[in-house]
Structure 1
Amino acid sequence: MGESGWPGGELIASARGGDVDSIAAVVAGAHPHIQRFAYSLCATTEDAEDAAQEALIILYRKVGMLRASGALASWMFRIVRNECLRRARMRYRIPLEDNISAASAEDEVLRRWEAGRVAAAVATLPADQRSVLIMRDIQGYSGRMVADALGLSTAAMKSRLHRARAAVQQALRASDDVVGGQDER
């Protein structure tokens, strides 16, 4: 095993070459790290288990594409992070239900339109700011958990979060100006 328990370069090279025992060893060696990261990042235990499983499947199928042993950890963490974010997006989509009688159809359209505006503003953020904002403000993780999960110092996480929030607010204000007719060209 390599640094901090990750599979080493020799084992990964053998796995890239198609050795079935080496592939199994790489997957088994990466599993605890992937699972720990998924549990720290995903909103629910079920999502964490599914994200870890998905990452291991991708590792098993595509280990031959891995270029360097040092890239294994970052590649796996990126896959887990993306899978957790995908699951969080699915979880927070609220379907239109018939039992929302307290709100009129117009209120529901306006709520969905506003949610769409916010989602569009968040989607325009750089990936590093977007992931901090989603984890902190949508998934509700503590600042320390977000910083640890993304490999950042707490100060760097706070800085990215501040820039992300400011960019979203600016995008929403600009959108308000356009919608309100103040965008006169």
Structure 2
Amino acid sequence: MRKFALSLCASPQDAEDAAQEALIILYRKIGTLRATGALASWMFRIVRNECLRQVRLLVSRSDEATAEPGASAEPSAEEAVLHRLEVERIAAAVSALPRDQRQVLIMRDVQGLPGRTVAHALGLSTAAMKSRLHRARAALRDALETTGRTSEAA
């Protein structure tokens, strides 16, 4: 589970948190599992959901930090639903990125860490980190444009 979480989460700390939270959820809900053969897939699904939840939390914290002063405190129900759907679409696109790109993107753009810090944490040169970040942003932009066109056509 930890290795799987490492492939999805932005940092090793986030992966540890996700794996630990998944074990807690598993412990609490193991009695609801009906088919013993489904245990592994259920565990992986819990880890995946925890990693996505962490990304959503980071995105929502980022949104709160950039909110305009004087803006209405409560969005309409329609705006809230649209925002949640957009956050889920972004989180899914981020989680679909290759691990190396996802890590750089989340550390730099979501967590707001300086480029040198990200490069050092991942054992990369600054140039290599910038290259990965560029590829990650381009892949994310393409994925979001593709899913945006798909949802508009529906």
- Note if 1:83 corresponds to 2:83: no
Give yes or no for the alignment of 1:92 onto 2:22: no
Q: More helix per residue: 1 or 2?
A: 2
Could you state the TM-score of these two structures normalised by the residue count of structure 2? Answer: 0.57
1:150 to 2:116 alignment: no
Aligned pairs for 1:91-170 (under 5 A) are 91-92=57-58, 94=60, 102-170=74-142
Residues 133/109 of structure 1: CA separation in 2 closer, same or farther (3 Å cut): same
| TM-score w.r.t. length of structure 1 | 0.48
Distance 1:133 1:93, change over 3 A: closer
Q: Distance in 1 between matches of 2:142 and 2:107?
A: 20
SS at match of 1:180: helix
Q: CA deviation at 1:82?
A: 2.4
Output the CA distance in 2 between the equivalents of 1:84 and 1:102.
Answer: 30
> How far does the alpha carbon of each residue in 1:2-47 deviate from its partner, in whole angstroms, 9 at most, with x for none?
xxxxxxxxxxxxxxxxxxxxxxxxxxxxxxxxxxxxxxxxxxxxxx
Task: Measure, in 2, the Cα distance between the counterparts of 1:93 and 1:166.
Answer: 19
Higher relative contact order (CA 8 A, sep 6+): 2
Identity between Structure 1 and Structure 2 (%): 50
Task: Confirm or deny: 8 A CA contact 2:118 2:129 kept in the other structure.
Answer: yes
Superposed displacement of residue 174, structure 1:
0.3
Deviation >3 Å, runs of 4+ = 84-88
- SS of the counterpart of 1:121? helix
Larger Rg: 1
Distance 1:93 1:138 in 2: 7
**RMSD of aligned alpha carbons:** 3.1
Listed one character per residue, the Cα deviations across residues 60-101 of structure 1 (whole Å, up to 9, x for unaligned) are xxxxxxxxxxxxxxxxx99xx32235579275375xxxxx85
Instruction: Tell me how many residue pairs correspond in the alignment.
Output: 102
Residues 1:102 and 1:153: Cα distance change in structure 2 (over 3 Å) = same
| Alignment gaps of 5+ in structure 1 | 1-57, 59-76, 95-99
